């Protein structure tokens, strides 16, 4: 009796997951294979022919290869921001966890504030214009770092608490300078949480739409999320192209997912429940 | 003797001065965070009180805020924001917990189910928004065609002003429930098995197990999920913008979309005032909520 019930529950769960989660993704892929006329019907039918390649070519070459520019921009943005986030975030997490001073309370307050407070958009634009960073990729890199730091620091701090102090002390007795203690002893030990941070932040930054929309206007600077937004008006009658674009920009997160699924889940939960 | 004494004494203060945990490690992060986050936040308190063109600003006192409270569509945006945050975080708590209980049980294809629920978390919000805009098309959309097969006439998900906000909220839950589930799974796995064994000896039912053991001992996970999704809900912009642009009319406008519209229209002072309103809203709702959730946790 319980066997049958357990069996039914599993079947229902799998069927529901297919309808709720897999069908929307299947829909995206099917649409990318259709030609314009069939895609306009918006239905969940099997593609009549295979228009995938011509769709891809058209999406990629349109507006002077904007999608290629966008992929390059998004890659630079993601790699640069995540690199800075990891190094600077780990440095703060390390000292904040190890050294107790009267400023710790203030720093922790600022970190929590950064997690909660919505960024003040227009004053930030004003500031970026004043410093010549507005509508520039490195300006957006710094913005992403500023907005990503609180969460990165939280994860690092929780993890550094589990690394024994004796290790730092041993290194110091062996004559290591503070700089070496951190970069050659501690940072390598932080690798598990660094992976989590890299994955979480790169997905967030790669998928970010709001900040590029505000701080990186202009077609030259488009990121992949903005191409979607720009193409949405241009391709409003060519759903095949719109969905080809969605399929193409979903590939990087899919790769991340295939490689890091377990680690993301483990790291996220470690941080979430402790933090 | 004295010579060696001073020689060995000399480095001591140097060591003491140079802590192994140098304060300058804070510097790079502090500069970036201070200049690009804290400074604009503080500046917004001033600029929200001005009529502002980015080049010069005229101080007009609380006029921007007065306008916020006068315009019906701005008030509507404020109410929508709170509704949206309550609905999405509420559904994520309930569905996330139920899914987590299911996915920690002996269900078949557990690994597959965990993956499939989590994957949307990683996908672009705008892509998801556009996909569901098409799926929710009132006549051709797959959702309504599917409902028609069951003999149900589907509503105009995104074109009905009474429904648009809730439709977007549902998509938000679809996309974000995986994160809530993962947090709950971690919470449930951390509960010692002894409790369930003791309960089994006492003859507890599954329902009792859930309400007397799982639910109370998951409280840290619950407060994490509530606070994360509540803050996310209050600040939501990209999904609303991709799906409805705040429409039809102003039916699904939230504070964040109002901020963007005012910015686009060149009303920088009003836009910044919107930001301050959002800031106050987040602080006023999230800080007491955090305290409440943590206090209850302390009593356990």
Chains A, B: CB contacts under 8 A, how many?
245
> Do the Cβ atoms of A127 and B39 come within 8 Å?
yes
> Do the Cβ atoms of A98 and B102 come within 8 Å?
no
Chain B positions in Cβ-Cβ contact with residue A20 (cut-off 8 Å): 174
Residue B3 pLDDT exceeds 70: no
Confidence of residue B12 (pLDDT cuts 50, 70, 90): very low
Q: Which of B38, B57, B124, B129 to mutate to test the interface with A (most CBs of A within 10 A)?
A: B124
Q: Does A135 touch chain B (CB under 8 A)?
A: no
User: Contact at 8 Å (CB) between A224 and A74?
Assistant: yes
Alpha-carbon distance B142 to nearest alpha carbon in chain A (angstroms): 6
pLDDT on residue A218:
81
Q: Does A255 touch chain B (CB under 8 A)?
A: no
- From CA B137, how far away is CA B160, in angstroms rounded? 11
pLDDT on residue B52:
86
Radius of gyration of chain A (CA): 23
pLDDT one-digit tens code per residue, B213-248: 888 988 888 988 999 999 999 999 999 999 998 888
Own/partner pairs, A227-231, CB within 8 angstroms, 24+ separation? A227/A66, A227/A67, A227/A70, A228/B124, A228/B126, A228/B127, A228/B130, A229/B126, A229/B242, A230/A63, A230/A66, A231/A59, A231/A62
> Do the Cβ atoms of B44 and A120 come within 8 Å?
yes
Backbone angles phi, psi at B54, to 5 degrees: 80, -30
CB-based burial of residue B138 (10 Å sphere; 0-12 exposed, 13-18 middle, 19+ buried)? middle
- From CA B233, how far away is CA B230, in angstroms rounded? 5
Q: Does A267 touch chain B (CB under 8 A)?
A: no
Calculate mean pLDDT across residues B109-124. Answer: 89
Higher pLDDT: A266 or A13? It is: A13
Across chain A, what does the average pLDDT equal?
87
Alpha-carbon distance B88 to nearest alpha carbon in chain A (angstroms): 17
Residues 6+ apart with CB under 8 A from B122: A203, A207, A253, A254, A256, A257, A264
If you measure CA to CA, which chain B residue comes closest to A139?
B36
Alpha-carbon distance A151 to nearest alpha carbon in chain B (angstroms): 12
Q: How far is CA A171 from the centre of its chain?
A: 35
Calculate mean pLDDT across residues B156-174. Answer: 92
Residue A141 pLDDT exceeds 60: yes
The encoded tokens of residue B256 equal: 């964040």
Query: Smallest Cβ distance to B186: which of A94, A147, A273?
Result: A273
Q: A74-112: string of b/e by CB count within 10 Å (b at 16+)? A: beebbebbbebbbbbbbbbbbbbbbeeeeeeeebeebbb
pLDDT one-digit tens code per residue, B68-93: 888 888 888 899 999 999 999 999 99
Strands (E), chain B: 50-52, 57-59
Residue B296: CB atoms within 10 A of its CB come to 13
Tokens 């590939």 label which residue?
A251
Alpha-carbon distance A232 to nearest alpha carbon in chain B (angstroms): 8
Percent of chain A scoring above 90 in pLDDT: 40
Confidence of residue A47 (pLDDT cuts 50, 70, 90): confident
Calculate mean pLDDT across residues B160-182. Answer: 93
Q: Give the DSSP H/E element, type plus range, for residue A261.
A: helix A239-274
Query: Smallest Cβ distance to A210: which of B140, B228, B237?
Result: B237
DSSP code for A49: S
CA atoms B139, B250, A28, A266: torsion sign: negative
Calculate mean pLDDT across residues A176-200. Answer: 88
CA atoms B13, B19, B22, B23: torsion sign: negative
Kindly compute the dihedral angle of the four CA atoms of residues B176, B182, B187, B191, in this order, to the nearest 10 degrees: 140
User: Contact at 8 Å (CB) between B240 and B246?
Assistant: yes
Peptide bond into B24 cis (omega under 30): no
User: Contact at 8 Å (CB) between B245 and A233?
Assistant: no
ipTM score assigned to the predicted complex? 0.88
Higher pLDDT: A3 or B186? It is: B186
> Do the Cβ atoms of A121 and B259 come within 8 Å?
yes
pLDDT on residue B300:
43
If you measure CA to CA, which chain B residue comes closest to A43?
B142
Of the candidates B162, B145, B129, B135, the one whose C-alpha atom is nearest the C-alpha of residue B251 is: B162
Q: Does A263 touch chain B (CB under 8 A)?
A: no
Q: Which of B11, B17, B18, B21 to mutate to test the interface with A (most CBs of A within 10 A)?
A: B21
Tokens 């060149």 label which residue?
B266
Calculate mean pLDDT across residues A169-198. Answer: 88
Residue B108 pLDDT exceeds 90: no
């Amino acid at each position: 009796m319980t066997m049958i019930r357990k069996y039914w529950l599993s079947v229902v769960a799998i069927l529901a997951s297919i309808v709720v989660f897999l069908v929307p993704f299947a829909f995206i892929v099917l649409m990318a294979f259709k030609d314009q006329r069939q895609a306009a019907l918006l239905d969940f039918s099997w593609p009549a022919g295979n228009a995938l390649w011509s769709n891809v070519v058209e999406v990629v070459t349109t507006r002077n290869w904007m999608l290629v520019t966008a992929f390059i921009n998004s890659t630079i943005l993601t790699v640069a921001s995540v690199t800075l986030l990891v190094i600077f975030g780990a440095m703060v997490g390390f000292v904040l966890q190890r050294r107790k001073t009267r400023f710790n309370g203030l720093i922790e307050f600022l970190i929590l504030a950064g997690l909660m407070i919505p960024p003040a958009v227009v004053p930030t634009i004003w500031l970026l214009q004043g410093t010549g960073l507005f509508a520039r990729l490195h300006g957006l890199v710094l913005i992403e770092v500023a907005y990503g730091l609180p969460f990165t620091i939280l994860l690092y701090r929780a993890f550094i608490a589990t690394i024994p102090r004796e290790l730092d002390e041993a290194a110091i007795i062996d004559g290591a300078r503070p700089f070496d203690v951190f970069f050659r002893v501690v940072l390598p030990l932080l690798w598990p949480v660094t992976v989590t941070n890299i994955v979480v932040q790169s997905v967030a930054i790669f998928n970010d739409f709001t900040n590029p929309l505000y701080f990186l206007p202009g077609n030259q600077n488009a990121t992949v999320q903005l191409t979607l937004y720009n193409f949405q008006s241009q391709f409003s009658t060519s759903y095949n192209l719109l969905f080809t674009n969605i399929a193409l920009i979903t590939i990087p997160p899919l790769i991340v997912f295939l490689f890091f699924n377990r680690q993301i889940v483990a790291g996220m939960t470690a941080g979430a429940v402790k933090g | 003797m004295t010579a060696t004494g001073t020689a060995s004494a000399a480095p001591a203060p140097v060591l003491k001065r140079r802590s192994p945990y140098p304060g300058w490690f804070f510097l790079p992060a502090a500069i970036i965070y201070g200049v690009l986050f804290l400074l604009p936040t503080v500046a917004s308190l001033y600029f929200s009180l001005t009529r502002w063109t980015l080049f010069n600003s005229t101080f007009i006192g609380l006029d921007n805020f007065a306008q916020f409270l006068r315009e019906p569509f701005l008030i509507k945006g404020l109410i929508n924001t709170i509704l949206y945050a309550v609905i999405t975080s509420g559904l994520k708590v309930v569905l996330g917990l139920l899914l987590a209980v299911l996915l920690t049980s002996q269900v078949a294809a557990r690994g597959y189910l965990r993956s499939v629920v989590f994957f949307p978390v990683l996908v672009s919000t705008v892509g998801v928004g556009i996909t569901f805009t098409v799926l929710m098309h009132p006549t051709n959309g797959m959702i309504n065609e599917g409902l028609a097969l069951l003999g149900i006439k589907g509503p105009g998900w995104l074109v009905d002003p009474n429904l648009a906000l809730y439709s977007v909220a549902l998509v938000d839950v679809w996309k974000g429930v995986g994160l809530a589930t993962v947090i709950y799974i971690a919470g449930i796995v951390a509960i010692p098995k002894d409790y369930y064994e003791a309960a089994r000896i006492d003859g507890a039912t599954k329902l009792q197990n859930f309400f007397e053991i799982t639910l109370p001992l998951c409280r840290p996970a619950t407060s994490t999920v509530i606070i994360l999704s509540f803050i996310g809900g209050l600040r939501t912009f990209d999904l609303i913008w991709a799906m409805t642009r705040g429409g039809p009319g102003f039916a699904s406008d939230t504070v964040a979309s109002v901020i963007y519209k005012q910015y686009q229209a060149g009303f920088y002072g009003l836009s910044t005032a919107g930001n301050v309103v959002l800031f106050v809203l987040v602080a006023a709702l999230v800080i007491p909520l955090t305290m409440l959730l943590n206090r209850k946790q302390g009593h356990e």
